[in-house]
Amino acid sequence: MKILGIETSCDETSAAVVEETGDAAKPWVIRSNVVASQVAIHREWGGVVPELASRQHVRDICGVVETALADAHTTWAGLGAVAVTQGPGLVGSLLVGVAFAKAAAAAAGLPLVGVHHLAGHIESVPLHHGELPMPAVMLVVSGGHTSLYLVKAPGSYELLGRTRDDAAGEAYDKVAKLLGLGYPGGPIVDKLARTGNDTAIRWPGTRLTHADRNAPQLKGDLDFSFSGLKTAVLRHVTLRREQGTPLTEREIADICASFQRVVVKTLVDRTFTAAQRHDARSVGVAGGVSANSRLRADIMAAGESRGIPTFVPSLALSTDNAAMIAAAGLRLFRAGITSPLTINADPALPLVAR
């Protein structure tokens, strides 16, 4: 069966066709994956402007879906279902994708599957590598989310920890903006960090030992916090500027490298602490920040040193894309879960364990 996936949770308009293979070990293959990026539109504002994002989704959605079907050499009649990101995300952006998917499913007489955006990121790993040894610990890290999940069986997601404040990708963007590096900040900081001294500045790390009052079911020590690190960078840069001497290119590279070292170490340490605690047989990392070169290298090295198979998706599947939504949709569809045509976009949609 082929399924059409649609993703419009933020500033990428994407459509993809994913097909089942019949192989339980590697159940899906990507037939097409089309992404229309809005980076050039939002760059002059230094971040995503929700109203501009939703308007651009309206302009792009039809052409992106048509291209995805053409690239997959299929038609609406060749599809078995339509999957769409229902949430979380920017509500205006989500509404465009959900409205299109509902109309298309109704017109073509196809089942509709509403998908959680983070479930899509998690499924990007088996989409690329095949089914992981279970149980698995998954780190989902992006501009809007930094969370740890325990996957005891395919399609089952149990929250272990999350950020208390900034997501890791959000911290990257804010530090880049503070340094005047441009948007999107994450790739720029990553590039500059490769030329810097990562021990030039001893930024503080964060270790949480108490439960989050907003999520008291979580123990707390697997949670993340990046606001203190971001503030430390702000104070350092502000002090230098008050001294009346501009930061040199070398100093900026050192700041980026030192900042990235702390972020990546925090992500890797928490992930493998969770893996050890829950006897995980594998570890995966997904989300936009999984494209970060140091995170990819360090988490793979940590997995090798501990003897735990560790997986990262391809760079194309790391950032927001519809192929991962299609895969998550197939997972739900084969579990007998579909959505009514009355579903609505939900910017705060919870990822419910099942």
Domain segments of the chain: what residues? 2-121+318-334, 134-308
Residue 215 pLDDT > 80, yes or no?
no
pLDDT, mean of residues 211-215:
59
Task: State pLDDT tens for residues 136-159.
Answer: 999 999 988 999 999 999 999 999
Q: Tokens 């993340």: give the residue.
A: 224
CA atoms of 122 and 103, how far apart (whole Å): 27
Q: pLDDT band for position 211 (50/70/90)?
A: low
Q: For residue 287, which of 132, 146, 128 has the smallest C-alpha distance?
A: 146
Q: pLDDT band for position 207 (50/70/90)?
A: low
Q: How many other CB atoms are there within 10 angstroms of residue 326's CB atom?
A: 37
Q: pLDDT band for position 221 (50/70/90)?
A: confident
Q: Mean pLDDT across the chain, nearest whole number?
A: 94
pLDDT, mean of residues 283-304:
97
What is the predicted pLDDT for the residue at 244?
80
Residue 172 pLDDT > 70, yes or no?
yes
CATH classification code of 134-308: 3.30.420.40
Kindly provide the b/e burial profile for residues 88-101, where b requires at least 16 CB atoms within 10 angstroms of the residue's own CB: bbbbbbbbbbbbbb
Q: pLDDT band for position 39 (50/70/90)?
A: confident
CATH classification code of 2-121+318-334: 3.30.420.40
Residue 216 pLDDT > 60, yes or no?
no
Q: Tokens 């969370």: give the residue.
A: 147
| 134-308 matches 2-121+318-334 in CATH topology | yes
Task: State pLDDT tens for residues 61-78.
Answer: 999 999 999 999 999 999
Using an 8 Å Cβ cutoff, are 175 and 318 in contact? no
- Residue scoring higher pLDDT (84 or 47): 84
What is the predicted pLDDT for the residue at 252?
96
Q: How many other CB atoms are there within 10 angstroms of residue 343's CB atom?
A: 17
Residue 210 pLDDT > 80, yes or no?
no
HEC states along 159-208?
Answer: EEEEECCCCHHHHHHHHHHHCCCCCCHHHHHHHHHCCCCCCCCCCCCCCC
Residue 323 pLDDT > 80, yes or no?
yes
CA atoms of 221 and 331, how far apart (whole Å): 31
Q: pLDDT band for position 339 (50/70/90)?
A: very high
Q: Decide: pTM greater than 0.85.
A: yes
Q: How many other CB atoms are there within 10 angstroms of residue 316's CB atom?
A: 14
Q: pLDDT band for position 32 (50/70/90)?
A: very high
CA atoms of 251 and 257, how far apart (whole Å): 10
Helix (H) or strand (E) holding 329: helix 322-334
Lowest-confidence region among 99-108, 180-189, 210-219, 287-296: 210-219
Lowest-confidence region among 30-34, 85-89, 228-232, 239-243: 239-243
Q: pLDDT band for position 353 (50/70/90)?
A: low
Residue 43 pLDDT > 90, yes or no?
no
